[in-house]
Amino acid sequence: MTDGTLREPELAEMEAQDAVCPGADYSVFRSQQEPAASPRKAALRTAQQEPAGTQEGGRVQSDGGCAGGRLLPAPQAASAPFAASADRTGRRVIMLSWEFPPMKVGGLSAHVEALSRELAAQGTEVHVVTCHADGAPAHEEANGVQVHRVRTYQSGSLTFMEWVMQLNLAMYDYVRTLNRRFGPFDLLHAHDWLVGEAAVQLKRECGLPLIATIHATEHGRNHGLHTDLQRSIHAQERELAQEAELVIGCSRYMEREIRELFGIAEHKLTVIPNGVFLPAAPADPQQERAAVQAAFAGPGERIVFFVGRLVREKGAHVLLESAPLVLEHCPQAVFVIAGKGPALEELRALAESLGVSSKVRFAGYIDDETRNRLYRCAAVSVFPSLYEPFGIVALEAMAAGAPLVVSGTGGLQEIVDHERDGFTVLPGDRASLAHHLIRMLRDEPSAAAMAAQAMRKVAERFGWARIASLTADAYERLPNSRRKVQSERIYAELKV
C-alpha cells in the first residue's frame, strides 16, 4: 500500500490469493490517481453474473466461483418479507452501514438502528445491509427493519483498508442481487466512507438515488491530514459526498466542514441532527442512587461522569488535567471515566502523574442501562471533546436529566445553550473546564434547574420519531429535486 491506497500490483496479488471468489475484479477499488487500463467506474465483473447459490443456516452454498457465493437468504424464506407490494405507500430504502447491533464500535451503530426503526414505524420499508457479527443471524427482521449481515470474502490477515475493500465487495454483490430479486427499491442511504465504494458502484449500476450521511471526517478527527492512510480515507469521503444526490450532516458545524472539505454544492447539503430515546424512569430512585454510589464512589463522594471512546479527540485527558483544581475546591468529587480505547493506559499514567489516581475510577465498557443510571446519579456529566461533529452522548445525558458541561466545539455548542441547559467551556482549556465543574458541583439548585430545562429540550426537539420524519422528508425530495432541503427550517426549531 502506497500513500494509503491500494496499487495495481497489490490488487493483482489479492485477486490471485482469493480462493473464495476467484472471479472478482478488484480493480474497481484502484486509487483514483493511478492510471488504469480500464475505467475505474467499471463494475465488478463477478457481480454481472446471476447468483447461483443461496445461504442456509448462515452458510453459503456454492457451485464454485464468485457468483455462487452470494450471501442472500434462501428465496423461499425471503420472498414474503422482501417482495414489493403493489399497494405500498412508503418508500423502500437500502441502508448501508458497516456497524449495526449487536456490533457496537462507536455511535454509528445506535444511530442507524434507531433511525431505521423509526423510519419503519412511519411506513418506510428499510433494509439495513451491514457487516457480519458473531452470534447474529445472516438475516432477521428487527423492530420492523430487514437486517442483512454479510461476511467478507476473505477473513485472513488483512490490513484495515483491505478489510474495508472486502466488506464493500460483499455488500456490492449482496445488494445488487437483493435489488434484482426483491426490488425495485427507491434509494440508497449510505452512512460514512466505510461503505462508500459499494454505495457509489450500486448507484451507478442500479440507477438508485444516493443519500450519504457523513457523521465525521478524517480531517476533523485528526485536525488535518498527516498520513497516507488519512489522505486515502479523505479521498473516499470526498467521492461519496460528491456522488450523492443529497448529503446529510448532523449539525451546522458538519455542514460547513463537508462543504469546505469536499466542495459540495449548497443545494446538495442539509442538516438533520441525531436523536435520542428518553430512558424510562427508575422504579426506586433512592435504591438506584445507593447502588450506583456503592459501585462507583465512596460515602459522600459526588460523581463527575465521562463516557466515550478513549481517544484523544474525546478529551478525557483534559478532564484529568482539570481534576487537581476541581479537587482543591471540591474534595468530595470523584471522576468516573467509562469506555474503552487506545488511550486507556496513557490516561491511567496521566492520573498517576497528576496525583489524582485515588479519585479516578476507570469503569471500562458499560452497557446502556448502567450508563443511564450513572447519568441520573452523577452530580455532573462532562464531555470535553476537542472534535465533536454532533455529540450524541450530550443528548443522552440531557435525556436522563444529568447536569451537563461540554466543550464549546462542533455540534456540542449547537445542542447546549450556555447557562440555560448546561455549561459550554473553552475546548482543550483545563482551567475553563475546572471553573465550570466547580460551579456545577457547588450550586446544586442551579444545576438541577439547567438539567430540567435540558430534559424538556430533548423531549421536544430531539426525539427519534421527529428525526426519522425529517429524514423521510429528505427522501421524498429525491431523485428529481435539486433544491436544498432547508437546514435553516430544520434548525430554526432547535435553537431558542
Contacts of 297 (CB under 8 A, 6+ apart): 303, 334, 336, 361
Q: Report how far residue 481's alpha carbon sits from residue 496's, in angstroms, rounded to the nearest whole number.
A: 30
241-288 pLDDT, tens digit per residue, is 999 999 999 888 899 999 999 999 988 999 999 998 888 888 899 999
Which pLDDT score, from 0 to 100, does residue 85 have?
43
Model pLDDT for residues 386-397, shown as the tens digit of each residue:
988 778 889 999
CA distance 50 to 93: 22
Identify whether the C-beta of residue 168 lies closer than 8 Å to the C-beta of residue 195.
yes
DSSP at 109: H
Identify the sign of the CA torsion 473, 240, 309, 432. Answer: negative
Domains of the chain: 8-271 (3.40.50.2000), 285-461 (3.40.50.2000)
pTM surpassing 0.85? Answer: no
pLDDT at 479: 55
Using DSSP, how many helices (H) and how many strands (E) does the chain show? 18, 16
Give 310 or 30, the one with higher predicted confidence. Answer: 310
CB-based contacts of 366-371 (< 8 A; 24+ apart in sequence)? 366/307, 366/338, 366/339, 370/338, 371/307, 371/338, 371/396
Helix (H, G, I), strand (E, B) or coil at 95: strand
Please say if the pLDDT value at position 164 is more than 80.
Answer: yes
> What percent of the chain lies above the pLDDT cut of 70?
78
Cis peptide leading into 445, omega within 30 of 0? no
Lowest mean pLDDT among 36-40, 107-111, 424-428, 487-491: 36-40
Q: Which three cell numbers, joined as nine digits, stand for 371?
A: 450508563
Backbone angles phi, psi at 149, to 5 degrees: -115, 125
The label of the residue with cell 447468483 reads 51
- The per-residue pLDDT of the chain, averaged, comes to 82
For the chain, how long is the longest CA-to-CA vector? 72
User: pLDDT tens digits, residue range 418-474?
Assistant: 999 999 999 999 999 999 999 999 999 999 999 999 999 998 889 999 999 999 999
- pLDDT tens across 57-79, in order? 333 332 222 333 333 433 333 33
Calpha distance 361→123 (Å, rounded)? 45
Flag whether pLDDT at 331 surpasses 80.
Answer: yes
Question: Among positive and negative, which fits the CA dihedral 340, 345, 346, 347?
Answer: positive
C-alpha cell of 154? 476473505
Please state the separation of Cα 13 from the chain's center in Å. Answer: 32
Q: Name the region of 364 (left: φ>0; alpha: ψ -120 to 50; beta: rest).
A: left
